[in-house]
Every structure is written in C-alpha cells, then in structure tokens.
Amino acid sequence: MAALLIFDEPYSQALSPFLFFLLLPLYAKFFPLLFKLLCFFFLSFLSWFSLLRLKNLFTKH
C-alpha cells in the first residue's frame, strides 16, 4: 500500500531510480534469473559505451 502511495505522488519520477536500487537485493533473492539478465544487460551496455568512448578517443585528430 505504501508503494502505491509513493507512485501516486508527482515526485515518483525522481524517486524511481532510488527505489530501483533499493529493491535490487529483493530482485536477486526472489527473481535470480531476472536479476542475472538485468546485470548482463547493464554490463553489456557499459562495455559498449566504453568501447564507443575508446573509439572516439583514438579517431579524433
């Protein structure tokens, strides 16, 4: 019920990232496959982003 009250508020957009990171241990405990997929996509995005940065670093004149 408290979660419904939080998401009804206008500042829920600002709170949602914090709630997401607070709920990560619960995701890991109750949804291990979902948590692993989430970690995989996050790490693949980070590696793609860092490769893009390296490419831009070495191709600039």
* C-alpha to C-alpha distance for 5 and 60, rounded to whole angstroms: 50
Q: What is the pLDDT of residue 14?
A: 62
Q: What is the pLDDT of residue 1?
A: 43
Segments making up each domain of the chain, as ranges:
24-61
Q: What is the pLDDT of residue 21?
A: 78
Place of tokens 């490419």: 55
Nearest CA to 23 out of 45, 10, 11, 38 is that of 38
Q: What is the pLDDT of residues 7-61, one digit of tens each?
A: 555 555 666 777 777 888 887 888 888 888 888 988 898 888 888 888 887 777 5
* C-alpha to C-alpha distance for 36 and 41, rounded to whole angstroms: 9
CB-CB contact of 39 with 28 (8 Å): no
Q: Residue 5 pLDDT more than 70?
A: no
Put simply, whether the predicted model's pTM sits higher than 0.85 gets the answer: no
